[in-house]
C-alpha cells in the first residue's frame, strides 16, 4: 500500500482539523452533489423518495409519509417483499455474481452466487412453511455468523415471518427471555461453532432455554456446523435435511405492507429488561439501502465487509439488508481478528479484494495496539472507503485508521446511529463533506437531529447537551410510534421536549460545532457500551445481586483502553463469604444471565455501597472511583467513609 495522500489537512474553526475527501473518491461517489442537504431540506419528507427508489415495490406507495403524528406510516400504501428485493430482482443482471462470501473460523470459505442464494432461500422458506410457520409468526435465529443465518433471515422475510436474531454469545436465560418477549415458538440454531479454533456448544444452550419456556418450542431447526451427529428429537430438524427435502421448490415472496414488521431485535434499555425494537419492511429497508449507497458508497460490483456480528443491528442493516438490496457481494467472517494471527483481517481484505470496510472503534484500537506491521504486510489497495460505528472514535485512532488502513486516500465515515434508528443518522457523506477526526459529522440529509439543553433549546456551538431527533425518519421502528411509553420519563437528566410536535431522545450526550458537526460524548443513561455493545447496568446488577453471599451490588462503567468502557461491579458481601469464591460465582452468574461479554472486568468488594441519606446508591461516586476522578462534594452521603475504602480497595487491586 503506498502512502500517497491526496487529502489535505487544514486547521478547522473551533479546533481540531478538517480532512477533505480525495478527489478520486468524489469523482466516483454514489452521492457527490454538494447541494444534497439543501435539496432534501426543501423537499422533506418527499426527499426520501430517493431511498424508496432503490427498491422494487409490488404496489406503489400513496404517500412518502402518512400521518403527521404517531403512528407515522412511511411509504404508506406501498407493498414490497424484502427477500425479493435482496435476492430475486438481482438474478436478471447478476445471477452468477457472488452474493455472500463466507470466511469460517477454521480457515474454510464458502461462496453463494445470487442464484445459489435464491435457491437456498426458497428451499428454506418452503421448509419453514412446512414446519408450520405462518405469516407474522416470529422465528428466533440463535446462530453464529454462518451463511445459513442470512439465508434464514431472507427465508423468513420471504414468507412474511418476522425474525428475531439472538446473538450466539448470549446465554440460555437471555435466549429464553427474548423468545418469551417476542412470543416466538420457532427456533433456528446451530449445534455449535468454533471460537479461536475450539468448538463451542450452542444447541445445549438452546435446549436449556426451551426447557424454561412455558409454551416450549414448536419446532427447532439445527444447522450442523461442528459435524458431530447431534441427536435430534421429533420436533427438531436438521437444516441440511430440510433443504434437501425441498430441493428446487420455490415460494412466492409475500407482498408486505411498507409498515409491516420485517424483524425485531432486542436492545438493552435503561430498565435492564431487554426491549424489543420492531423494524418495518419499507421504511427500514429503504433507510438501510440508501445509507449503504450514500454513506458506505456500496456499488453492485463491490465486495463489502461489515465486521459486526449479524446478531447486532449493525450486521442486520450493513451485512445483510443494505448490501444485498444493492446487489453487492457481502462478506461474512465467523472468526476473531487475531486468530490464527493478528493480521487475519488484512489477509482477508487482501484475499477478497474488499472495497468497503465497516468496523468498530474497539477493533481499530486493538489493531493500533498490535502495530502497523500487520496491515503493512498486506496489499490493501482494493479499499475505497472505511467506516466506523458503535462508540466514539478518538482522533488518534481515526487518523491511524485513515493512514495505515486507508493509505490516506479512503474517506473514513464515523457513523452515529442506534438499534432504534435502524440505520445511520449522523455522519459525513463521503463524496460531499469534509471529515473532522473525532466528530461524527452533520446529520444526514433529511434527518433532523440536534443537540439541545435541558429546556429542549438548541445549544450554542461548543456547548454540550442531549442529542435528539425532532422529525420522523424512514428507519424508525414500529415500537416507537405505537408505544406511547416509549418516551416516558426514565431519567431525571433528560431534556424537556414538550415544545416539539414530536421528538425522540437518543439518550446520548453530544456537542455541536459552528459547522453543525456533532461530536458524541456517550450515553447519559445507565447503559454501558462494552466494545460497541449495549448493556444496562441494572441487567448486570440483577444477576450479581442474585448470587449467594452477595448482599448488595452496583454496576457502573469504567475506562478501558480497548473496549471503550468496562464493567465495574461493586459488591458488598455477607460476612462469612470468601471473596475469591464469590468473584467466581459473580462471573458465572453474569455469564449465565447474559453472556461472557458482560462479565465484570473489575469487582470491588466493599462493606457497604455509598448511599444518600434516603438510601439511594450514589453511582456518581462509584463512577468517579472507577475513573480515578475527583469525587467532588461528598456531603450528600450518609456513609462518606465508604468512598475512601473503595479507593483503597481499587488501589490494592492494581
Ligand atoms: C449501531 C449501534 C447505540 C449506541 C448509541 C451511542 C453509541 C453508536 C456511534 C456511537 C459515538 C458513533 N454509538 N455509534 N457513539 N459515535 N459513531 O451501535 O447500535 O448497539 O443500539 O448502540 O452506541 O451511544 O446510543 P446500538
In a domain, 319, yes or no: no
581-590 long-range CB contacts below 8 Å, 24 or more apart? 581/549, 582/547, 582/549, 582/550, 585/547, 585/548, 585/549, 586/544, 586/547, 586/550, 589/543, 589/544, 589/546, 589/547, 590/540, 590/543, 590/544
Res 86: pLDDT:
98
Residue 462, phi then psi, degrees to nearest 5: 95, -20
Ligand 1 proximity of 390 Cβ (cutoff 6 Å): yes
Res 272: pLDDT:
66
Question: How many Å lie between the centroid of ligand 1 and the Cα of residue 495?
Answer: 19
In a domain, 609, yes or no: yes
Please indicate whether residue 151 or residue 9 has the higher confidence score (pLDDT).
151
pLDDT confidence band for 468 (50 / 70 / 90): very high
Instruction: Annotate 558-572 with b (16+ C-beta within 10 A) or e (fewer).
Output: bebeebbbbbbbbbb
Q: Which domain holds residue 605?
A: 526-653
Q: What's the rounded Cα separation, in Å, for the pair 650 and 625?
A: 8
Q: What is the dihedral of CA 314, 317, 319, 321, to 10 degrees?
A: 160
Q: What is the pLDDT of residues 70-89, one digit of tens each?
A: 889 999 999 999 999 999 99
- Range among 163-167, 489-493, 625-629 with highest mean pLDDT value: 163-167
Cell numbers 483503597 label which residue?
648
Angle at 470 between CA 467 and CA 476, to 5 degrees: 95
pLDDT confidence band for 7 (50 / 70 / 90): very low
Q: Residue 490: which of 526, 522, 455, 458 has the closest Cα?
A: 526
Q: What's the rounded Cα separation, in Å, for the pair 64 and 585?
A: 54
Res 493: pLDDT:
63
Summarize the confidence of residues 468-493 as an average pLDDT.
74
CATH of the domain at 616: 3.30.300.30
Ligand 1 proximity of 266 Cβ (cutoff 6 Å): no
Q: How far is CA 330 from the centre of its chain?
A: 17
Coil, strand or helix: which one is 173? Answer: helix
Burial of 72 (0-12, 13-18, 19+ CB in 10 A): buried
Res 15: pLDDT:
47
From the CB of residue 391, how many other CB atoms can be counted at a distance below 10 Å?
Answer: 23
Q: What is the pLDDT of residues 87-123, one digit of tens each?
A: 999 999 999 999 999 999 988 999 999 999 999 999 9
Residue 182 reports pLDDT greater than 80: yes
Grid cell for residue 50: 430517493
Ligand 1 proximity of 424 Cβ (cutoff 6 Å): no
Res 165: pLDDT:
98
Ligand 1 proximity of 313 Cβ (cutoff 6 Å): yes
Question: How many Å lie between the centroid of ligand 1 and the Cα of residue 569?
Answer: 23
- Share the mean pLDDT of the chain: 91
Least confident residue range of 75-84, 341-350, 523-532: 523-532
From the CB of residue 650, how many other CB atoms can be counted at a distance below 10 Å?
Answer: 18
Least confident residue range of 269-273, 291-295, 490-494, 519-523: 490-494
Res 653: pLDDT:
64
Grid cell for residue 65: 409519509
In a domain, 536, yes or no: yes
pLDDT confidence band for 11 (50 / 70 / 90): very low
Summarize the confidence of residues 198-214 as an average pLDDT.
94
Residue 376, phi then psi, degrees to nearest 5: -60, -25
pLDDT confidence band for 442 (50 / 70 / 90): very high
Contact (CB, 8 A) for 51 and 65: no
Summarize the confidence of residues 388-397 as an average pLDDT.
91
Write down the ipTM of this complex: 1.00
**Single residue among 209, 236, 267 that ends a domain in this structure:** 267
Ligand 1 proximity of 418 Cβ (cutoff 6 Å): yes
Q: Is the peptide bond before 45 cis (omega within 30 degrees of 0)?
A: yes
In a domain, 644, yes or no: yes
Q: What is the pLDDT of residues 236-285, one digit of tens each?
A: 999 999 999 999 999 999 999 999 999 999 987 666 678 899 999 999 99
Tell which one of 412, 418, 444 to mutate to probe ligand 1, the residue whose CB is within 8 A of the most ligand atoms: 418
Coil, strand or helix: which one is 110? Answer: strand
**Single residue among 238, 267, 296 that ends a domain in this structure:** 267
Grid cell for residue 184: 416466538
Cell numbers 422533506 label which residue?
44
DSSP state of 277: E
Summarize the confidence of residues 176-205 as an average pLDDT.
94
DSSP state of 71: S
Q: What's the rounded Cα separation, in Å, for the pair 79 and 255?
A: 6
CATH of the domain at 182: 3.40.50.980
Radius of gyration for the alpha carbons in the chain, expressed in angstroms and rounded: 24
Contact (CB, 8 A) for 74 and 258: yes
In a domain, 324, yes or no: no
In a domain, 340, yes or no: no
Residue 419 reports pLDDT greater than 80: yes
Q: What is the pLDDT of residues 208-222, one digit of tens each?
A: 999 999 888 999 999
Q: What's the rounded Cα separation, in Å, for the pair 305 and 407?
A: 18
Question: How many Å lie between the centroid of ligand 1 and the Cα of residue 533?
Answer: 8
From the CB of residue 641, how many other CB atoms can be counted at a distance below 10 Å?
Answer: 12
**Single residue among 241, 267, 293 that ends a domain in this structure:** 267
Q: Which atom of ligand 1 lies nearest, measured to the CA of 506? A: 25
Res 634: pLDDT:
76
Res 624: pLDDT:
86
Q: What is the pLDDT of residues 132-145, one digit of tens each?
A: 999 999 999 999 99
Contact (CB, 8 A) for 390 and 532: yes
Tell which one of 391, 475, 521, 525 to mutate to probe ligand 1, the residue whose CB is within 8 A of the most ligand atoms: 391
In angstroms, what CA-CA distances link 388 with 46, 124, 143, 307, 385? 29, 33, 24, 10, 11
Contact (CB, 8 A) for 407 and 2: yes
Residue 320 reports pLDDT greater than 90: yes
Residue 193, phi then psi, degrees to nearest 5: -155, 175
pLDDT confidence band for 1 (50 / 70 / 90): very low
Q: What is the pLDDT of residues 15-59, one digit of tens each?
A: 468 999 999 999 999 999 999 999 999 999 999 999 999 999 999
Residue nearest to atom 3 of ligand 1 (CA): 418
Q: Which atom of ligand 1 lies nearest, measured to the CA of 393? A: 16
pLDDT confidence band for 151 (50 / 70 / 90): very high
Ligand 1 proximity of 414 Cβ (cutoff 6 Å): yes
In a domain, 412, yes or no: no
Grid cell for residue 246: 425441498
Domain count, the chain: 2
In a domain, 73, yes or no: no
Amino acid at each position: 500500500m503506498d502512502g500517497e495522500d491526496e487529502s489535505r489537512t487544514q486547521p478547522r474553526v473551533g479546533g481540531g482539523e478538517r480532512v477533505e475527501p480525495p478527489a478520486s473518491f468524489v469523482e466516483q461517489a454514489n452521492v457527490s452533489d454538494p447541494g444534497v442537504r439543501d435539496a432534501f431540506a426543501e423537499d422533506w419528507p418527499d426527499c426520501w423518495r430517493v431511498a424508496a427508489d432503490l427498491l422494487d415495490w409490488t404496489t406503489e406507495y400513496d404517500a412518502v409519509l402518512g400521518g403527521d403524528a404517531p403512528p407515522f406510516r412511511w411509504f404508506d400504501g406501498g407493498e414490497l417483499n424484502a427477500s425479493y428485493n435482496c435476492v430475486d430482482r438481482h438474478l436478471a443482471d447478476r445471477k452468477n455474481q457472488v452474493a455472500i462470501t463466507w470466511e469460517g473460523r477454521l480457515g474454510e470459505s464458502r461462496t453463494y452466487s445470487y442464484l445459489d442464494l435464491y435457491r437456498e432461500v426458497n428451499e428454506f422458506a418452503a421448509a419453514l412453511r412446512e414446519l408450520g410457520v405462518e405469516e407474522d409468526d416470529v422465528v428466533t435465529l440463535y446462530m453464529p455468523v454462518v451463511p445459513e443465518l442470512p439465508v434464514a433471515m431472507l427465508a423468513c422475510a420471504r414468507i412474511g415471518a418476522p425474525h428475531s436474531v439472538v446473538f450466539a454469545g448470549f446465554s440460555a436465560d437471555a435466549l429464553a427471555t427474548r423468545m418469551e418477549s417476542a412470543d416466538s415458538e420457532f427456533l433456528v440454531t446451530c449445534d455449535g461453532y468454533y471460537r479461536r479454533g475450539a468448538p463451542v456448544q450452542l444447541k445445549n444452550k438452546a435446549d436449556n432455554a426451551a426447557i424454561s419456556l412455558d409454551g416450549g418450542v414448536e419446532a427447532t431447526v439445527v444447522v450442523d456446523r461442528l459435524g458431530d451427529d447431534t441427536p435430534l428429537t421429533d420436533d427438531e430438524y436438521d437444516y441440511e435435511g430440510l433443504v434437501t427435502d425441498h430441493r428446487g421448490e420455490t415460494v412466492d415472496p409475500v407482498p408486505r405492507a411498507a409498515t409491516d414488521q420485517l424483524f425485531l431485535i432486542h436492545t438493552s434499555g435503561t430498565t435492564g429488561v431487554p426491549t424489543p425494537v420492531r423494524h418495518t419492511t419499507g421504511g427500514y429497508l429503504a433507510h438501510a439501502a440508501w445509507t449503504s449507497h450514500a454513506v458506505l458508497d456500496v456499488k453492485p460490483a463491490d465486495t463489502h465487509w461489515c465486521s459486526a456480528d449479524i446478531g447486532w443491528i449493525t450486521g442486520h442493516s450493513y451485512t445483510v439488508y443494505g448490501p444485498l438490496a444493492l446487489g453487492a457481494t457481502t462478506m461474512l467472517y465467523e472468526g476473531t481478528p487475531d486468530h490464527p494471527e493478528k493480521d487475519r483481517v488484512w489477509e482477508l481484505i487482501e484475499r477478497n479484494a474488499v472495497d468497503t470496510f465497516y468496523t468498530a472503534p474497539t477493533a481499530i484500537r486493538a489493531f493500533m495496539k498490535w502495530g502497523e506491521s500487520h496491515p503493512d504486510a498486506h496489499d490493501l489497495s482494493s479499499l475505497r472507503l472505511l467506516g466506523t460505528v458503535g462508540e466514539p472514535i478518538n482522533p488518534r485512532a481515526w487518523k491511524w485508521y485513515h493512514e495505515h488502513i486507508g493509505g490516506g486516500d479512503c474517506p473514513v465515515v464515523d457513523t452515529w446511529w442506534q438499534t432504534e434508528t435502524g440505520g445511520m443518522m449522523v455522519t459525513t457523506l463521503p463524496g460531499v463533506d469534509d471529515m473532522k477526526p473525532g466528530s461524527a459529522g452533520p446529520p444526514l440529509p433529511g434527518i433532523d437531529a440536534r443537540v439541545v439543553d435541558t429546556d429542549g433549546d438548541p445549544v450554542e456551538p461548543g456547548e454540550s447537551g442531549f442529542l435528539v431527533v425532532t422529525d420522523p425518519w424512514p428507519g424508525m421502528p414500529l415500537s416507537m410510534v405505537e408505544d406511547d411509553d416509549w418516551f416516558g420519563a426514565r431519567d431525571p437528566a433528560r431534556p424537556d421536549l414538550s415544545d416539539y410536535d414530536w421528538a425522540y431522545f437518543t439518550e446520548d450526550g453530544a456537542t455541536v460545532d459552528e459547522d453543525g458537526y456533532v461530536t458524541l460524548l456517550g450515553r447519559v443513561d445507565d447503559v454501558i457500551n462494552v466494545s460497541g455493545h449495549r448493556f444496562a447496568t441494572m441487567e448486570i446488577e440483577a444477576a450479581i445481586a442474585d448470587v449467594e453471599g452477595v448482599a448488595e451490588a452496583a454496576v457502573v462503567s469504567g475506562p478501558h483502553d480497548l473496549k471503550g468502557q468496562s464493567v465495574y461491579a461493586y459488591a458488598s458481601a455477607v460476612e462469612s463469604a470468601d471473596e475469591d469464591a464469590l468473584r467466581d460465582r459473580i462471573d458465572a452468574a453474569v455469564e449465565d444471565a447474559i453472556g461472557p461479554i458482560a462479565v465484570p472486568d473489575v469487582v470491588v468488594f466493599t462493606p457497604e455501597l455509598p448511599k444518600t441519606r434516603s438510601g439511594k446508591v450514589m453511582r456518581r461516586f462509584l463512577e468517579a472511583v472507577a475513573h480515578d476522578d475527583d469525587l467532588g462534594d461528598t456531603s450528600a452521603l450518609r456513609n462518606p467513609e465508604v468512598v475512601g475504602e473503595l479507593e483503597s480497595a481499587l488501589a490494592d487491586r492494581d
